[in-house]
Amino acid sequence: MRRAGRISPLSVALEDLLSRREARVRAKERLAALVWRECVGSFYAERTQVTGISRGIMYVWCNSPALAHQLSLDGVEIIGRLNAELAGQYIKEIRPSATGRRRGQEAAEASRPRRASPTRRELEAIRLPPDEVQAVEAEAARIGDEGLRARFLGAALAQRRAQKWQRQHGYRSCEHCGWLTPPPLSHCTKCGRTL
């Protein structure tokens, strides 16, 4: 029970737990966009692009209506692969669409070879600065359950490596929401604001 003028330790702990859970979910959603290519295979990887993820729904642009329909049929299997890669139930639905891209964006992307995400080997080869690793380890040390701590540590380090890979490949961070958007796009693929 909360008394007037005092914040209970339980409410502070609960707020901290919820904010860390939300951050973990957002991190897993971002990681899902990075492992998309690996989970769907070369056919879909060459013809689709994750345009956003929100509340467990992954929005995917497809280069044709027929492909969007096929992706909706294959969605359950792909969701299973994504969630297995993420070690949890973070993606609940895939919403494919063949509309919604600007012509200029489409032409610019068609003219350059694109790498949507790093391979597992590329991620493992990325070295993070020791202070960044120590910060993640310190955050993980706050988790009491050893198994959960190990999973969190693995996912958090993978996310940091993925973000480093994205920045090395020209992704830009949205000033509004922090989402990393691939080049040559000029609008954030999550919130739609101009970069």
Is residue 85 situated within a structural domain? yes
Is residue 156 situated within a structural domain? yes
Omega before 9 cis (within 30°)? Answer: no
Is residue 195 situated within a structural domain? no
If one counts the domains in the chain, the total is: 1
d(CA 174, CA 107): 22
Is residue 93 situated within a structural domain? yes
Amino acid 133: pLDDT: 92
Is residue 92 situated within a structural domain? yes
The token pair at 98 is: 């063949």
The residues, ordered by sequence, that sit 6+ positions from 63 with a Cβ below 8 Å of its Cβ are 47, 48, 98
Amino acid 111: pLDDT: 39
* Tens digits of residue pLDDT in 54-98: 888 888 888 888 888 899 989 899 999 888 887 888 889 999 988
pTM (two decimals): 0.47
CB atoms within 10 A of CB 192: 12
CA proximity to 171, closest of 163, 153, 72, 67:
163
Q: Which residue ranges of the chain lie beneath pLDDT 70?
A: 1-25, 28, 100-117, 189-190
Mean of per-residue pLDDT scores for the chain = 78
Is residue 187 situated within a structural domain? no
Is residue 186 situated within a structural domain? no
Query: Contact at 8 Å (CB) between 96 and 71?
Result: yes
Amino acid 5: pLDDT: 56
Is residue 126 situated within a structural domain? yes
d(CA 6, CA 189): 42
Range of the domain at 84: 21-181
Phi and psi torsions of 68, nearest 5°? -60, -40
